[in-house]
Structures are given as C-alpha cells and as structure tokens.
Amino acid sequence: MLKTFKMGGVHPEECKLSEHSAIETLEAPDTVYVMLNQNLGAPSVPVVNKGDKVKTGQLIAKGEAFISASIHSPVSGTVDKVDSWIDASGYRKPVIIIKKEGDEWNDGIDTSKELVKEIKASKEEIIDIIKNSGIVGLGGAAFPTHVKLMVPQGKKAEHLIINAVECEPYLTADHRLMLEKGEEIIIGVQILMKALDVTKAIIGIENNKPDAIAHLTKLAASFPGIQVQGLKVKYPQGAEKQLIKAAINREVPSGKLPIEVGCVVQNVGTTFAVYEAVQKKKPLIERVVTVTGKKVSKPSNFMVRIGTPVSVLIDKCGGIPEGTGKMINGGPMMGKAFTSAEITVTKGTSGILLMDENESGRVKEHNCIRCARCTMVCPMGLEPYLLAMAADTANWEIAEQHHIMDCMECGSCHFTCPSGRQLLDSLRLGKNKVGAIMRARKN
C-alpha cells in the first residue's frame, strides 16, 4: 500500500528522461578541480601543497571542525596548485587542482568488482571508517554522515530510513543506482543498521520507479529488518521530515532533528558509498550524476570522479543543445542555476539540467490575489504570502514570529502561485537576515 504525507505538496511534471540509461563510468579527466567546501559545515583544510604527488583515494584535505568532512584525491598525479575556482554561485571558492598521471590507487583499497557480504567491522569501527572516508549525504545537503550516525546522549535511534525517493523531476541517479547496485545497497543498509544499533530499516521509494521497488523488495526479502515502502508521487516527498511522516507517521518537531523521533535518514547514494568505504576500503571519490534536459540528445547517468568539470559531462551527452536558456546544478525545484560550464562536480552534485530557453524565463508577476494556494501547498504548514511580504518590507520580527526558519526552500509555493509572485526569493532573503539576527542574538 502506498503511503504519503498529508500536508501540502505539488505535482511538477516528472520528465524522467534518463531513467532507462544505464550508468556509464567516465574515465577520470586530465585535470580535476576539487572544491574545498563540499559539505554542510566548515570547509576542509588542505593537507597537500603544490608539487606533491598523490594517489587515488589519498587524503588531500582534513575536516577540522566538528561538522566537517575530509576530502580524498579522485585521481593519482601531481598537485598543480591550491587556488580558487568558480563554483555554481559564480563566486570563486578555494580549490585543489590536481593533474592526472596514471591510475595508482592508495594502499588497502579493494578495486575489484566482487561483492563483499560479510560485515567484519564493529559499530565503532564503522563510524570511524565512514569519517575517514569523507562520506557526506549525497542527496544534496551534503551533511557529514559520521556526525549523523553519532547519536547524541539521551537519544535513541529506533528506525533507519533510506531516502530513495528522488522526488525532483528529471533526476534519475538514485533510480539507476538501485537497479544496478541493489545488492551493495542492501549490504550498506545492514552496515548502517549495525552502526546505529537498530533492527528496523525502511527504504522509501516513490511509485514512479516500480522496477526499483520490485528489485529491492526481492533483495530485501531475506532480511526481516529491512522493509521497502512504496510512496505516492508528490513533491517534496524526498524531504527528510516528509519522508519520516509518510514512513512511520511521526512529525519531527519544529527546530529539531529526526533523532528526536528516533529516526536517522540516509540517502541511498550515501548508503552505497558506505558499502564501498566499509567493505572495499574505498573513500568517497566518485558519484552518479544525471545529465539531462528536453533538448539534450542523449540524457544519461554517469559515474563521475569528484572534481570533473561539468563541461566534460555535457560534451559526453552531445554538448549544450541549441536554444538552451539555463544550466542548473541539481533538479529544477531546488537546484542552483550556474553561470559557466567551468564549474566542477562536488559530492553534492546529483544532476546537471540543461533547460530550454522557452521554459527558462519566469512568469510575469502580478499582485497577490490572496488565493491561499501557497498556504495550501506548503509542506511545513507555513504562510508563504505573509512571510514573503514580511521579508520584502524588512519586517524581520514578524518573519521570525511566523516561523520563517522552518521553511525548507522546497519551492512549492513559488511553483504554485497563479500570480507569479517570486515567493522563494523573498523567503530566502528573509531566512538569511533572520538567521543572522538569531545568531547575533546568541553571541
């Protein structure tokens, strides 16, 4: 039986153009540009210098703060420079540039294709390996996984929920991963269950991927603790809080984390990375990226090394199509439009969408007609029209009182508004300013 979340939600066109394209492993490019800020939290600190020789999988940057992650070299070769490079926002950020030489992997990494079923590591060892492999959430938020697995004192995890929903239109990376690496994923789930000391795991998959649901249900059948749950297709089912509500009918309280209701949520891509790290000793150096768009000649899914320039991926799909209006890093609902194809793949890059120019422009903006559709579709039960008005008129107290910080920037309100109001822009500005005020107040 399909489950869903009750509050809000919208139905954008699914456009899963690349769902039948098998994952193609791309050769590592000649030069990789590894951004130093690939995760939520503090940027990583480089431990290599210009001229150093590195092997594939070797540590090149350390996570020093509590919420940070380490980064490993995606290729073997020489460090060209530690400099700055353009990222999706158009601003230049710190980067380590490495020139590829050969294909030498770091000691201890198992590069064979053999499936390793037995989980030898203990609970503490698992979390340690995950930390030292630089694994972060591959769903897009890129939160360091080892921090999520360290359950704070006084709280207990009861459920592990695997987020295989992929509710964003166009993206199919997780879908293909489930079909092609299903067994590895199930082992990854078991590893995570061991790390958290839980006996129940639920894999949530949206119903537009019936083949994945069937495949994983079959694989999970021999493991009584692992259950596959089909979910109704509704955006944003893949949001953590909505997924928990649908799967186990519990609401994470405002301002708190999922562990508050005994849950830890992990993306299915992260689960696969966990398998590779714990069973194959392979740190996170590559991920699946969907390259798609209505005019793209070959919408595809690639297994790419971190640091690969996006231009390489686009060329592999037939180049930027004529009449492209916008290039998007991620999905069309929450992804960031970027300025130049010079940007590179990071741990949080799930897809590159080349949008046609007819669809790229925003709709014309009119007065708010107070139709309340934004309020009806908000999955967090907020009132976007009121929050946007507060943000536009710099009324930060009202914005804070009406819980603007609960907004997860899913874009449902902006998507629905019949008057074309630019709601999410205002909400983002409001969140920025109110967040800064709240932080200043704490100090």
Which CB atom, from 30 or from 365, has the smaller least distance to another protein?
Answer: 365
Q: Restricting to residues 355-384, name those near another protein by CB under 8 A.
A: 355, 357, 359-363, 366-372, 375, 379-383
CA dist., res. 268 & res. 287, Å (int): 12
Touching another protein, residues 90-109 (CB under 8 A): 90-92
Size of the site for another protein (CB under 8 A): 72
293 lines the binding site for another protein (CB under 8 A): no
User: Which CB, 195 or 388, lies closer to another protein?
Assistant: 388
Instruction: Report in angstroms how near the CB of residue 314 gets to another protein at its nearest.
Output: 13
Select from 21-29, 68-76, 223-231, 398-406 the region that touches another protein (CB under 8 A): 398-406
Residues linked to residue 301 through DSSP beta bridges, in sequence order: 23, 290
Peptide bond into 236 cis (omega under 30): yes
Q: What angle do CA 16, 17, 23 make, to 5 degrees?
A: 95
What's the angle, vertex CA 55, arms to CA 96 and CA 50, rounded to 5? Answer: 35
* CA 395 to chain CA centroid, nearest Å: 32
- Rounded least distance, CB 287 to another protein, Å: 21
Minimum separation from the CB atom of position 366 to another protein (A): 6
Radius of gyration of the chain (CA): 21
Closest CA to 20 of 228, 179, 163: 179
Select 76 or 324, whichever has its Cβ closest to another protein: 324
Using DSSP, state whether 116 is helix, strand or coil: coil
Given 49, 111, 249, 254, the residue binding another protein (CB under 8 A) = 254
Residues numbered 136-175 forming contacts with another protein, rule: CB under 8 A: 169
- What SS3 state is found at 58? coil
d(CA 52, CA 54): 6
Q: Does 339 bind another protein (CB under 8 A)?
A: yes
Q: Is 416 in the site for another protein (CB under 8 A)?
A: yes
| Phi, psi torsion values for 294, nearest 5 degrees | -65, -30
**Position among 333, 389, 399, 404 found at the interface with another protein (CB under 8 A):** 333
Stretch that binds another protein, among 199-207, 279-287, 288-296, 353-361 (CB under 8 A): 353-361
77 token code pair: 């070769």
Residues between 28 and 87 that touch another protein (CB under 8 A): none
What token pair was written down for 324?
């492209």
CB of 402 to another protein, least distance (A): 8
Beta-bridge partner residues of 267: 163
The Cα 246–Cα 340 span in angstroms is: 38
Binders in 232-251 for another protein, by CB under 8 A: 241, 245, 251
* 224 lines the binding site for another protein (CB under 8 A): no
- Token pair of 369, please? 């007609």
**Tokens 């490079």, located at residue:** 85
Q: Is 343 in the site for another protein (CB under 8 A)?
A: no
In whole angstroms, give the CA distance from residue 427 to residue 212.
36
Cis before 46? omega within 30: no
**Residues 421 to 440 in contact with another protein, rule: CB under 8 A:** 422, 424-426, 428-429, 432
Strand duo 77-86 + 53-54: pairing: antiparallel
Choosing from 193, 385, 389, 390, the residue that interacts with another protein (CB under 8 A) is: 385
- Pick the stretch among 4-12, 36-44, 47-55, 155-163 that binds another protein (CB under 8 A): 4-12
Nearer to another protein, 56 or 344 (CB): 344
- One-letter identity of residue 400: E
CB of 216 to another protein, least distance (A): 28
